Structure 1
């Protein structure tokens, strides 16, 4: 408002100067008046130039005021922008701090995971070493088992051969056993049919055969005397008197011995018993025992 009033006063002054200039021109001229007029014209021109300068200054002042307003607006905007930027910076700092904390937590978690993985890797290495050792042991055991299997196969083949030989031997033994059984049955039938008691002794003078006639003569069953020492029998026959001849037959010093002894049979009756001792040969070479034949003399049975 002050600038508009100042401009109006300048314009009003210019109008008054123009009127004054007209009045001076209307007056008769003289050298002094001409000089005054010239000075007034010069002053008017200078004043006009000053007015033009003032106008330019006013324009410049107006532009400067507008620039100041724009600068103030821009400064306000800059302040708003600075506040917004400061808020953004503060938010960014907070966000960065949160991210840094998360990053630090993540790094710690990764470090823990890395340590756990290292421990797990160490455990796996130890387990792998154990597995390698176990595999080596298994391989050694497998080689040993393979060698043992080969040995077992060889032994199995040998056992098959031995089993075949054993089967053949068993078959031969079975045949021999049948023959022995037949021979024993034949001998038993002979001993049973002989007229008198017969006792077969082994090399230890233990009873091997005790025929039914001996059972009838002395009253002892075969199962009672089987395997018992003959010279320890408690019967009616004085067996102690037979010790020396039986021993001589067993050693081969005697081939035959015969004597008659007083005895008491199973019925308690006194009898005369003829006792005959002879060695038991196997294939006429080895003496395997002694045969003792006992006969009652007054019996009706013929004497051998």
Structure 2
């Protein structure tokens, strides 16, 4: 009896694990990071006296809202990648549970739209308690969650990801916390936005051959392998250069140079990308995950820099 209960419990845990894995949680730094940076930068401005009041409750709700919309987009995209033939058994990278037969495609689609509905409800609550600008920011989130695959298939996925994750999340976070549209935060968040685009670019570079067979076009395919390698390197190095420029013009405090502690990981990822060949794209099968780790580390260091500067 005890053995039966143990097996049942393990089976239930296995099912729960699959429901988590199919949402691609390793990619959540792409939405959590810009939200955290926005919170820390707004706090920095508050401590400097440039902002009078902060609403931490709305900030926390908006943080979870950003991750929820991201989760919904992952799930809906997983469904469309499967039905479009983009995801196949021979494709490298993270496990694809629909392809493996663990989930039915329709189940993941319903799962995605259920999560999206929760995010929309949260967004409506914040909209009713803040103002109309949040509506337009929320529309960008909905488009990204439901239609990203269409943009990706015509080589516009990088642009949409930058607009949504690199710009609108931070602008929305700052707005709900302050009631103001803090336009300078768009520049502050750009370095992380470039790194987030690099996650997608690493993914698309790895999948160039399979995407071609599926009949879709990505920026990586348009550029070719050499162009994609140069673009990936440029995205990473430009992020650090922009931080340096913003420190020089005193938009950011010198403590934000803490992000340089993540530079060795960036160089490691660049070197790995350079090793890829058309005959061995599998060597970068986990580069998107490694780039997501870089995004998280870079962002946490930037957050730390903003917080330390706030008290010094």
TM-score (structure 1 length as normaliser): 0.19
Structure with the largest fraction of helix: 2
Structure number with the bigger relative contact order (C-alpha 8 A, sep ≥ 6) is 2
- Higher-strand-fraction structure: 1
